[in-house]
Structure 1
Amino acid sequence: MPQPSFSTPLIGRNPELARLAGVLERARAGDARAVLVAGDAGVGKTRVLGEAAGLAAAAGTTVLTGHCVDLGDVGLPYLPFTEIVGTLAADERFADVLAAHPVVGRLLGGGTDAVQDRLRLFEGVAGLLTDLAERAPVLLVVEDLHWADQSSRDLLRFLLSRGTLQRAAGGAPGRRLAVLASYRADDLHRRHPLRPLLAELVRLPAVERLEVRPLADVEVTELVRAVQDRPLPDSTVRRIVERAEGNAFYAEELVAATDGGGDGVPSALADVLLIRFEQLSDTAQQVLRTAAVAGRRVEHDLLRGAVGLPEDELEAALREAVGRQLLLPGDGDTYAFRHALAREAVYADLLPGERARLHGTFARLLAGRGRSRETAAERAHHSRESHDLAAALAASLEAAEHAHQLGAPAEELRHLETALDLWASVEPSARPSGEGTDRVTLTLRASAAAAHAGAAHRAVALTRSALAGVQDSDHELAARVRYTLAGNLLGVDSLTAAFSYSSEALALIPADPPSRTWVWAAATHVLAARQVGENKTALRVARQALAVAERLQVPDARADLLISLAILESGGRTTPEGRARLREARDAARGAGNAPVELRALFNLAIGCFESGELEESVSWLREGLERARRAGLSSSPYPLEMRYLHLLVLYTLGRWDECAACAAEDAPVLPAAGAFAAGPALYVALARGDADVVERTRPLAEGPFDWMGRLVASIVLTDEAALRGDPEAAVARMRTGVADLTDDAGALPDATVRLAALALAAVADRAAALRAGGDAEELRHWTDTATELVELARTTAHRGADGSSQGPEGRAWLARAEAEWTRAVSGPDAGPWAAAVEAFASGDGYERARCRLRLAEALLVADDREGAAAEAAEARRTAVRLGAAPLLERVDALIRRGRLAEQRAPGSSPLTAREQDVLRLLAAGRSNRQIGEELFIAGKTASVHVSNILAKLGATSRTEAVAIAYREGLIGREEAVG
């Protein structure tokens, strides 16, 4: 594939090129890497990438390049990847590889089936690159990421963070792939959508960032003299260097502007660009003006049709523009501006009427090409800029449908919102006609696209807009808008408002005669009523609506109501009867083809098992649910997001922490911003393992737009983190803020209050214990009063049910821990409450049980039950080691050393592993860690870890003391101890 050539030498970029060459070399060896190349506009990113691509091509690497393009606020889904696939499709050598991944070919408009599942498309692109890399090393270049559409950003995130750059398992050769992606750093304003993606990607081990910095003055001087054949006066060179400010493109343009004999240097880059542009012939200027309206890149035949010149005049003008290096010829008979700034300057210089006329010309030419679906987004842009609003409206709706078929909900939403903006400006007679093209229905479509894109708050705003436009005389549509709004409000935890709107929807449609609209309005009302505690109303309406759904034969509504009844009726989803009803609902929804209702059934089956302590069965239901969501293209919808969270939570609870963290990393690329909470349990793992950046990773959940689950995760992590670092003021403040945020509109405290109170109580009890040992009595009273306040809050929440029943097993366990921490705060360590807490966590969270065991060991030690304390500490230590919970392990080992609990082992038993026994013998012989490693054929660092474990298990503070204890306990003989 042709690579760009440059007429000037590469100056001042040897370090950057050397670094990229190293990345390419590693990639050729199977170490897949990615580099994000940042720099200001014109600083030389494209030149550096071009040189790197040339090096790669010369070494036999397949180079694939895709460009992002600026079309204002009109996005072209997957544009750079469509360009790359198009390049492959034009080369017969890759026909078989493309044929093996047909879903990728649909980016080019082939086939009639829609790509409704983004994950399939993403996996297809990843598979294509993997297969290409098996033939020859591959370099994937994506230029101008700052203009990338959201779908392209999501696909790049997937490729870099989920498998494509990972090493192959089992020591097999890795993928021979390198990815270089450039973006303008100076274009990234505070709210630019690329910023969070970059922050996420640079944390990946296989991704690095390279900043192309401005050139030094001496380098700009060298560049200026290299690009100009004739000598320039020193004063001119100095002025160019001064004005260029290290920007290579500025410098080249300033030098080129001197060719026309101008007396001075323009004060702005646009002036420089236009001076150079105006040195062209009138015909060449006309061609460039027309090309600038098309965008950064334009096809030859499209340009010919728009400019209206004979072929020979057009070719002469293009040759002149290419000679002046304003245009560059590209693949597929296309031309591109050498730099986006050049195109922007020419475009900005067009007269308003001239600009509108050319946009209209391109819109007509694109419409006449017969590829309506693929050109819809461009036609919408050109029609709008040419003030042909009717055509822009029609093309925007086509573009929205195309984005929907491609599985690009963010772009679908953008096009629908553009259509809605245009709606009032287009005469009713000129608007598209047909079912579903009225303003209210289009707004509801946009609301659905927002929900699928993970923009729950935007979905609410759009549905409110539909409500403002609906006529209540159309009772059915008015009811539909209201129950849709109620459902969206439930998604953003605005429960009271949701109940209000669902009540209005139900009141607008009579129950008799029965109708499908009434059934769905009733089903939504049941959901809202249950969320605000109106369980009697929810149960009554659900039973009534179920009978109507069965009479009207609406199977998916019937399934939805069966789910609600399984939750509401006695025993709920934890009983065999409740689960049988949920399975019936799942089957009914599946038969009706209603995937969202089927997913709701599967979620409730999974959470019912979790609440019953049947964790492995919960995992089974969750896997089925997530797979069903993937196949249906609904992975970003609410229930699958909650299933992802629950899946990680079950893995966390089971102690499968490595799997939990791995699943979270795998899910991250396909999660919408509103689904960030789904990775919450991985944050619990990170905190328990002592990761330093856990607070920074949690902060967006605490400070971003309100999301109930996000605030829950943030409250748990930040309260526990404050407690672990011994800051009771911060722990209590975090706990109170979390409870306030999570309290519903009716004032009902969240169930998580019990857990948050217990976590804050840990820090309070630590402070009280320290003060009791010697401190201010008044301050001690303050903290014991605080402890009593917190435990009362936990008790009230745990026993608040109307029938006086407490929470399930998890809630009861947290209450037991809260009671034990309160006792420790007000009167000191007491083994009884801690033994109860250990027992309460027996069938659940192993990590929390280990934390309670540590407290129980402390209490037993105070009670002089050293044997019992040693046993509990040993169990806690085993759990901490298995989970990799380093902070807990340190605290347990400190207690073992402080209390000399290692001496409480049964006679003749050894706490050491066979390898540790080998290390102990060499330790007794006086060997250093390095010498131990050499004799046992292990790394010195590994030997050091074994020595630390031996000291901890024996309760020793030094190597000499460890040897003495080992001899005393019979773990080594006299000869070894003496030696």
Structure 2
Amino acid sequence: MMDGMANHRAPSTPLVGRDRELGLLLALAGVTAPDARDVVLLGGDAGIGKTRLLRELGAAASDAGHRVMAGHCLDLGDSALPYQPFAEAFAGLSDDDRDELAARFPAVGPLLPWPTPAPGPGVERAELFASVVAALDSLADAGPVLLVIEDAHWADASTRHLIRYVLAQRFRGAVHVVVSYRADDLHRRHPLREALAEWVRLPRVRRVELEPLADADVVDLVRARATAELPPDAMSAVVRRSGGNAFFVEELLDAGLADHRSALPETLADLLLVRLERLDDATRRLVRAASVTDGREGFGALAAAAGLTDDQLDVALGSAVDHKVLRRAGDDYAFRNALLGEALRDDLLPGERRRIHVAFLEALTDEAPPATIARHALAAGRRETAFTATVRAAEAAGRVAGYDEAAQHYERALELIDAAPPGTDEIDLVIDAADALVTSGQLLRALGLLRDHLAALATDVHRDCHGRLLVAIGNTSYFANLDADAEEASVRAIEVVPEGATTLRGEVAALRARVLSNRRHDREAAEWGEQALQIGEQLRVDAIVFDAKATLTRIMARTGDAPGQSVTAFRELIDASRASGHVLGELRGLNQLAFVLLNAGQLDAADEAFTEGMRRAAETGWSWGPYGFDGRFFGALIAYLRGRWDDAVALCHVDGGAPAQFESYLAAISLLVAAGRGETSQVERTLPHRAMWRLDEASAIHSTSALIELSAAAGDLAGARQHYDDLVELHRRAWDSPEFPATIRLVALLVGRYADAVQVLDRSARQSLVDQLPGLADDVDRVVVATPSLGPEARAWQLRVRAEMARLRWLAGLEAGAGTDAAAAGELVEAWRGVRAAFVELGDPYESARSAARLAAVLATSGGDAEASALVAEARQAAERLGARPLLAQLDLLVPRPARSDVDLTPREREVLQQVALGRSNGEIGSRLFISTKTVSVHVSNILAKLGAAGRTEAAAIARRRGLIDEG
């Protein structure tokens, strides 16, 4: 009630110093450029003139025939009602318009005030968001629409999600959107800061920042506002102290600066409050009461809180407007500047504040928003009322998928549990709070909440209380990838919850099946899954049925030979879950379907399933909830595997509302791209994220893959090996499983980096690398035995391991004839042909190109120059598209150089070449031939040039073919 932009009333004073910005807004908002379809983010410091500029825009748009809708985000802390500015914007419509929208788009009901028909029991976020867009488009059928959302720096998480959704739309009709925010409020961790960074990357979004007024404009503003000409020293004082802030200019003038002898208040709060001294008692009581409102109490409640009759309220409102404390906003009133309302609220004494909140509370009806009732009740010390209203506010937020706000309300209710009415089930409340936290992505916080309450539970409390908390802890641990914790909770739950056909026992069985399946104990997992399914079907509890079916289908997919059957089963589960409104079941089905396709090597189909999961998670408010985040994470991973590296990086940049752990997980995929592009400086960026790896196996694996590459590229082979060992140890500690399929890829990467570096090392260092091969081969063999059904990707990496180990031995040259034996070269060629074919079939362009480069290097040493040249060209094309600089550098060394037909080696060069062919280093050759290492280096360079060879191995192969060395 106390907020709102004047939609049709022209501002009473001229706009000064903002002609350029107004012209830009008029064009972008379609007033002067009707074909424009831009959306605008308008930022600037508090008091800089954003609201004044928007009032001018609104008046001009209204005059041009646009329908102007405006809503404000409110500074209400934890009591914010999700989507408040949109509700306010729709409230400005006529009753007929609102009723028509409610009939055509029922899901928008929660945003439409009485007497529009009340919404049903709840609405999915996807349906609500889509209905808001459809409603705006529908209104645009009658003419252009301008939607203004003010003060987005106060927006709750759900409102930010809806703003982002609206900004991303391509409206059918002429719908224009402007969102304003305070730039000076956006500290480093402010949730809007990173949200803005994401919004500006959307198509058609324009960001406009208001700068302070120029000194000349301040002078013009003073002359327009002052009732008399100011003396030069007073004018200078205003210009100097206002800092180009229009609001400060007006406040300085209204504080009495027309008399240049008046002292200026030292603080802004003092400056803002000076005008109150000129108000009569009734008006002062009115504005002080108004400072604690959230705009939803109504005039009757405001009069009661101020202690005024209706007639006195009318007089006081007029006086507040005359003294420029309030302003008319359509049929309502608002503070002339939000800063003034804040200063008034902060100036209230504790007793006065309490009395005002009590008066508001007693004047509110049951139809008032529960968050409003809860806020006033808590401030008034009415804890019982505050508890009940807070729970209702949490439930209301959950019904519109405002899970962040629901979690805040539930946690506030738990703080008030001592004031709960008799019969309140505290365990239910704890689990509801944890569920809201989990859905909003705050898994560790949810786990801490559950554990604290379990620890505080008396031992003589009914076993069901312990059992329900243990099930919730087990589920949350499972979702957080804390396998050991999930195992412990599931075992304890079995001991606590008695057998029988009860919902709780069904939940225990479903949890136990999931945990065992995750640990690959498939036979036992299937037994528990069947038990859960039987109980769920008997009791007709869909959640248990979908949970059990998902686990059983996962087991079938992993152990069966018919992937098509698994895909069909998951699709049936997804459709059934969606039809029943069971979001968790639907997202889990999509997630596991994607993994079936991924493991089968069907990357495109898997990508579609992950993308569908990400979209459905965003639509239902589960973007950071269980399985919702996986769609984004693995979608980014597949984009990396398919060579869409820029897309992968884009998916890894998310709204600042993402929990820190998820930002850490996405950083792993960004690091893979950094490794492929040779950005070794990115290693240090992983340091803050490493503590999170114990919570997510995939991010730990992909980060380690990248670190092996980056460390080796920086010349730190020991560091690369240490990263491998650290992950194996982490896997053993966190997941109680030293054998994991990704070992195959990690070993291949590590050995490949050894092979890249081996030729520049001395003999002992080369021997040290080769000595590691048996142990690494054993690691791979254990994984193969433990995972009998390897997918196409794992099989490709298995071939890569064998080829890289053979390449390392070949290049190390530690055995007689190593690096030059024709039979060994032929075996290497065949090995790398197989590796390249496997990655080509998999559809991985980067690893296909790297395999082609390896194959070309071997061919160049065995007479296959033409084929090597074609492979180099193929690999170069992929590397250039990806920006894979390290691979390009390797390819530059493989460009075939024609060998001279008249090779004329000196006797000393022949001696050196003989030693090179035996795989000896420069130092070793110098010792044998009694010459310096530097001299050996010069001879080697001359030999390579004369033979037209790219490296020592190629030189030895050419020399052998031409009979330039002694085979004896």
Q: TM-score normalised by the shorter chain: which range applies? A: 0.7 to 0.9
Tell whether the 8 Å contact from 2:743 to 2:783 is kept in structure 1 after alignment.
Answer: no
Alignment of 1:38-57 (within 5 A): 38-57=43-62
Instruction: Give the direction of change, closer, same or farther, for the CA distance of 1:412–1:812 in structure 2 (3 Å limit).
Output: same
Of 142, 159, 183, 1:152 maps to: 159
Aligned to 2:742: 752
Distance in 2, Cα, partners of 1:686 & 1:53:
46
Tell whether the 8 Å contact from 2:438 to 2:446 is kept in structure 1 after alignment.
Answer: yes
Confirm or deny that 1:468 pairs with 2:468: no
- Stretches of structure 2 lacking an aligned partner (at least 5 in a row): 1-5, 812-818, 820-827, 899-968
Distance in 1, Cα, partners of 2:38 & 2:774:
52
What is the CA-CA distance between 1:392 and the residue it aligns to? 0.9
Show CA shifts across 1:16-74 (max 9, x none).
33443443359945443233222222222222333333444444443322111111321
Of 169, 181, 185, 1:163 maps to: 169
Show CA shifts across 1:536-584 (max 9, x none).
7546655666676677776764654454455557962554676787678
Alignment of 1:71-220 (within 5 A): 71-90=76-95, 92=96, 99-108=103-112, 110-133=117-140, 135-160=142-167, 162-164=168-170, 176-220=174-218
Distance in 1, Cα, partners of 2:757 & 2:123:
56
Show CA shifts across 1:622-668 (max 9, x none).
68867887887756542343345455655765678899899x59998
Distance in 1, Cα, partners of 2:52 & 2:684:
35
What is the CA-CA distance between 1:243 and the residue it aligns to? 3.0
Tell whether the 8 Å contact from 2:191 to 2:657 is kept in structure 1 after alignment.
Answer: no
Tell whether the 8 Å contact from 1:27 to 1:33 is kept in structure 2 after alignment.
Answer: no
What is the CA-CA distance between 1:302 and the residue it aligns to? 3.4
Give the letter aligned to residue 800 of structure 1: V
Aligned to 1:23: 28
Confirm or deny that 1:612 pairs with 2:629: no
More deviation, 110-119/869-878: 869-878
Aligned to 1:484: 472
Instruction: Give the direction of change, closer, same or farther, for the CA distance of 1:760–1:299 in structure 2 (3 Å limit).
Output: farther
What is the CA-CA distance between 1:152 and the residue it aligns to? 0.4
What is the CA-CA distance between 1:393 and the residue it aligns to? 0.8
Alignment of 1:501-650 (within 5 A): 501-511=489-499, 513=500, 515-532=502-519, 538=525, 541-542=528-529, 557=544, 560-568=547-555, 572=559, 575=562, 596-597=584-585, 599-615=587-603, 618=606, 636-643=624-631, 645-646=633-634
Tell whether the 8 Å contact from 1:393 to 1:419 is kept in structure 2 after alignment.
Answer: yes
Alignment of 1:272-311 (within 5 A): 272-295=271-294, 299-311=298-310
SS in 1 for 2:180: strand
SS in 1 for 2:327: strand
More deviation, 593-602/188-197: 593-602
Confirm or deny that 1:459 pairs with 2:455: no
More deviation, 845-854/821-830: 821-830
Confirm or deny that 1:416 pairs with 2:403: no
SS in 1 for 2:187: coil
Give the letter aligned to residue 816 of structure 1: L
Distance in 1, Cα, partners of 2:619 & 2:561:
28
SS in 2 for 1:309: coil
Tell whether the 8 Å contact from 1:502 to 1:525 is kept in structure 2 after alignment.
Answer: yes
What is the CA-CA distance between 1:852 and the residue it aligns to? 1.4
What is the CA-CA distance between 1:787 and the residue it aligns to? 8.0
Aligned to 2:857: 858
What is the CA-CA distance between 1:351 and the residue it aligns to? 2.2
Distance in 1, Cα, partners of 2:571 & 2:201:
42
Aligned to 2:829: 831
More deviation, 28-37/265-274: 28-37
Of 373, 379, 395, 2:373 maps to: 379
Give the letter aligned to residue 106 of structure 2: P
Show CA shifts across 1:815-866 (max 9, x none).
4334444555554495344223213324313312233123322332333302
Question: Pairwise CA RMSD of aligned residues?
Answer: 4.4
Instruction: Give the direction of change, closer, same or farther, for the CA distance of 1:791–1:180 in structure 2 (3 Å limit).
Output: farther
Of 885, 889, 894, 2:882 maps to: 885
Give the letter aligned to residue 800 of structure 2: R
Aligned to 1:931: none
Tell whether the 8 Å contact from 2:66 to 2:145 is kept in structure 1 after alignment.
Answer: yes
Instruction: Give the direction of change, closer, same or farther, for the CA distance of 1:587–1:112 in structure 2 (3 Å limit).
Output: closer
Distance in 2, Cα, partners of 1:29 & 1:815:
61
Instruction: Give the direction of change, closer, same or farther, for the CA distance of 1:692–1:569 in structure 2 (3 Å limit).
Output: closer
Distance in 1, Cα, partners of 2:782 & 2:465:
43
What is the CA-CA distance between 1:877 and the residue it aligns to? 5.9
What is the CA-CA distance between 1:125 and the residue it aligns to? 1.8
Distance in 1, Cα, partners of 2:774 & 2:242:
67
Instruction: Give the direction of change, closer, same or farther, for the CA distance of 1:858–1:188 in structure 2 (3 Å limit).
Output: same
What is the CA-CA distance between 1:328 and the residue it aligns to? 1.0
Show CA shifts across 1:206-264 (max 9, x none).
33433323334454344334321213333333333333233221221111111797841
Give the letter aligned to residue 479 of structure 2: G
Instruction: Give the direction of change, closer, same or farther, for the CA distance of 1:716–1:47 in structure 2 (3 Å limit).
Output: farther
SS in 2 for 1:182: strand
Distance in 2, Cα, partners of 1:713 & 1:17:
52
SS in 1 for 2:79: coil
Of 246, 257, 260, 2:255 maps to: 257
Distance in 2, Cα, partners of 1:175 & 1:757:
56
Of 340, 344, 356, 2:354 maps to: 356
Aligned to 2:791: 808
SS in 2 for 1:252: helix
Tell whether the 8 Å contact from 2:678 to 2:713 is kept in structure 1 after alignment.
Answer: no
Alignment of 1:442-457 (within 5 A): 442-457=429-444
Instruction: Give the direction of change, closer, same or farther, for the CA distance of 1:545–1:87 in structure 2 (3 Å limit).
Output: closer
SS in 1 for 2:47: coil
Aligned to 2:67: 62
Identity of paired residues, percent?
32
Distance in 1, Cα, partners of 2:126 & 2:241:
48
Aligned length, in residue pairs: 868
Tell whether the 8 Å contact from 1:12 to 1:215 is kept in structure 2 after alignment.
Answer: yes
Instruction: Give the direction of change, closer, same or farther, for the CA distance of 1:116–1:550 in structure 2 (3 Å limit).
Output: closer
SS in 2 for 1:799: helix
Instruction: Give the direction of change, closer, same or farther, for the CA distance of 1:889–1:725 in structure 2 (3 Å limit).
Output: closer
Tell whether the 8 Å contact from 1:755 to 1:815 is kept in structure 2 after alignment.
Answer: yes
Larger Rg: 2
Alignment of 1:266-277 (within 5 A): 266-277=265-276
SS in 2 for 1:113: coil
Aligned to 2:902: none
Instruction: Give the direction of change, closer, same or farther, for the CA distance of 1:459–1:820 in structure 2 (3 Å limit).
Output: same
Alignment of 1:433-448 (within 5 A): 433=422, 437-448=424-435
Aligned to 1:313: 312
Give the letter aligned to residue 474 of structure 1: H
Show CA shifts across 1:435-492 (max 9, x none).
xx32221010111111222222222122223313434431122112102101101111
